[in-house]
Amino acid sequence: MLSIVEHDHGTPLREGTKLVTLSIDGREVTVPEGTSVMRAASLSDVKIPKLCATEQLEAFGSCRMCLVQIEGMKGLPASCTTPVAQGMVVHTQNAQLAQIRRGVMELYISDHPLDCLTCPANGHCELQDMAGVVGLREVRYGYAGANHLDAPKDESNPYFTFDASKCIVCSRCVRACDEQQGTLALTIQGRGFDSTVSASQNESFMASECVSCGACVQACPTATLSEKSLIEKGQAEHSITTTCAYCGVGCSFRAEMQGEELVRMVPNSDGHANHGHSCVKGRFAIGYATHADRILKPMIRERITDPWREVSWEEAIGHAAAELKRIQAKYGRNSIGGITSSRCTNEETYLVQKLVRAGFGNNNVDTCARVCHSPTGYGLKNTLGESAGTQNFDSVMQADVILVIGANPTDGHPVFASQMKRRLRQGAKLIVADPRRIDLVRTPHIAATHHLKLRPGTNVALINSLAHVIVTEGLVQEDFVRERCEADSFEKWRDFVALEKNSPEAMQAITGVPAAEVRAAARLYATGGNGAIYYGLGVTEHSQGSTMVMGIANLAMATGNVGREGVGVNPLRGQNNVQGSCDMGSFPHEFPGYRHVSDDQVRARFEGAWGVSLHGEPGLRIPNMFEAALDGDFKGLYIEGEDIAQSDPNTQHVTAALSAMECIIVQDLFLNESAKFAHVFLPGSSFLEKDGTFTNAERRISRVRKVMEPKARYADWETTQLLANALGYPMSYTHPSQIMDEIAQLTPTFTNVSYERLDELGSIQWPCNDQHPQGTPTMHVGQFVRGKGKFLLTEYVPTAEKVNARYPLILTTGRILSQYNVGAQTRRTENNRWHEEDRVEIHPHDAEERGIAEGDWVGIASRAGDTVLRARITERVQPGVIYTTFHFPESGANVITTDNSDWATNCPEYKVTAVQATRVTQPSEWQKRFREFTDTQEALLKGAGAEALAGK
**Using the rule CB under 6 A, is 65 a contact of ligand FES?**
yes
Q: How many residues bind ligand FES (CB under 6 A)?
A: 12
**Using the rule CB under 6 A, is 172 a contact of ligand SF4?**
yes
Nearer to ligand SF4, 197 or 448 (CB): 197
> Closest Cα to residue 419, out of 557, 532, 540?
532
**C-alpha torsion 585→587→591→592, nearest 10:** -20
**Contacted entry of ligand SF4, ligand FES, none for residue 78, CB cut-off 5 to 8 Å set by kind:** ligand FES
Which of residues 20, 51, 88, 513 is near ligand FES by CB under 6 A?
Answer: 51
Q: Quote the CA–CA distance of 466 and 570 in Å, as a whole number.
A: 18
How far is the CA of 443 from the CAs of 126, 422, 427, 817, 834, in angstroms?
33, 12, 14, 15, 19
**Using the rule CB under 6 A, is 357 a contact of ligand FES?**
no
Using DSSP bridges, classify how beta strands 365-367 and 692-695 pair: parallel, antiparallel or unpaired.
Answer: unpaired
Long-range residue pairs from 119-128, CB within 8 A, at least 24 positions apart, any chain: 119/166, 119/223, 120/223, 120/226, 120/230, 120/231, 120/234, 121/222, 121/223, 121/226, 123/235, 124/5, 124/235, 125/221, 125/222, 125/223, 126/50, 126/51, 126/221, 126/222, 127/51, 127/168, 127/221, 127/222
236 and 264 Cβ atoms separated by less than 8 Å = yes
CB of 54: closest distance to ligand FES in angstroms? 9
CB of 49: closest distance to ligand FES in angstroms? 8
The piece of 50-58, 386-394, 578-586, 706-714 that touches ligand FES (CB under 6 A) is 50-58
**Using the rule CB under 6 A, is 281 a contact of ligand SF4?**
yes
CB of 418: closest distance to ligand FES in angstroms? 24
**Using the rule CB under 6 A, is 131 a contact of ligand SF4?**
no
Q: Quote the CA–CA distance of 356 and 338 in Å, as a whole number.
A: 6
**Using the rule CB under 6 A, is 53 a contact of ligand FES?**
yes
**Using the rule CB under 6 A, is 9 a contact of ligand FES?**
no
Per-residue interface string for the shown chain with ligand SF4, residues 138-167, x marking contact by CB under 6 A: -----------------------------x
Q: Is the peptide bond before 748 cis (omega within 30 degrees of 0)?
A: no
**Using the rule CB under 6 A, is 66 a contact of ligand FES?**
yes
Which of residues 20, 80, 510, 858 is near ligand FES by CB under 6 A?
Answer: 80
Per-residue interface string for the shown chain with ligand SF4, residues 389-418, x marking contact by CB under 6 A: -------------------------xx---
**Using the rule CB under 6 A, is 869 a contact of ligand FES?**
no
Q: Quote the CA–CA distance of 789 and 553 in Å, as a whole number.
A: 9
Please, what sign has the CA dihedral across residues 287, 292, 293, 299?
positive
Q: How many residues bind ligand SF4 (CB under 6 A)?
A: 40
**Contacted entry of ligand FES, ligand SF4, none for residue 61, CB cut-off 5 to 8 Å set by kind:** ligand FES
Instruction: Could you list the beta-strand ranges (E) of 250-391.
Output: 252-258, 261-267, 299-300, 309-310, 336-340, 365-367
The piece of 86-94, 207-215, 438-446, 829-837 that touches ligand SF4 (CB under 6 A) is 207-215
**C-alpha torsion 842→844→845→848, nearest 10:** 100
Q: Any residues with CB less than 8 A from the CB of 440 and at least 6 apart, and which?
A: 404, 408, 409, 410, 417, 420, 421, 430, 432, 446, 448
Which of residues 20, 22, 48, 170 is near ligand SF4 by CB under 6 A?
Answer: 170
CB of 45: closest distance to ligand SF4 in angstroms? 26
Residue 485 has what DSSP assignment?
B
**Using the rule CB under 6 A, is 225 a contact of ligand SF4?**
yes
Give CA 136 to chain center in angstroms. Answer: 46
Using DSSP bridges, classify how beta strands 429-433 and 401-405 pair: parallel, antiparallel or unpaired.
Answer: parallel
Q: Quote the CA–CA distance of 822 and 885 in Å, as a whole number.
A: 10
**Using the rule CB under 6 A, is 52 a contact of ligand FES?**
yes
**Using the rule CB under 6 A, is 169 a contact of ligand SF4?**
yes
Per-residue interface string for the shown chain with ligand SF4, residues 244-273, x marking contact by CB under 6 A: x-xx-xxx----------------------
Q: Quote the CA–CA distance of 659 and 678 in Å, as a whole number.
A: 9
**Using the rule CB under 6 A, is 362 a contact of ligand FES?**
no
CB of 67: closest distance to ligand FES in angstroms? 8
926 and 865 Cβ atoms separated by less than 8 Å = yes
CB of 114: closest distance to ligand FES in angstroms? 22
**Using the rule CB under 6 A, is 555 a contact of ligand FES?**
no
Residue 668 has what DSSP assignment?
E
**Using the rule CB under 6 A, is 817 a contact of ligand SF4?**
no
826 and 887 Cβ atoms separated by less than 8 Å = yes
Nearer to ligand FES, 64 or 291 (CB): 64
Nearer to ligand FES, 172 or 911 (CB): 172
Nearer to ligand SF4, 692 or 859 (CB): 692
239 and 257 Cβ atoms separated by less than 8 Å = yes
**Using the rule CB under 6 A, is 63 a contact of ligand FES?**
yes
Binding residues for ligand FES (CB under 6 A): 50-53, 61-66, 78, 80
Binding residues for ligand SF4 (CB under 6 A): 167-173, 176-177, 181, 183, 185-186, 197, 210-216, 219-222, 224-225, 244, 246-247, 249-251, 274, 278-279, 281-282, 414-415
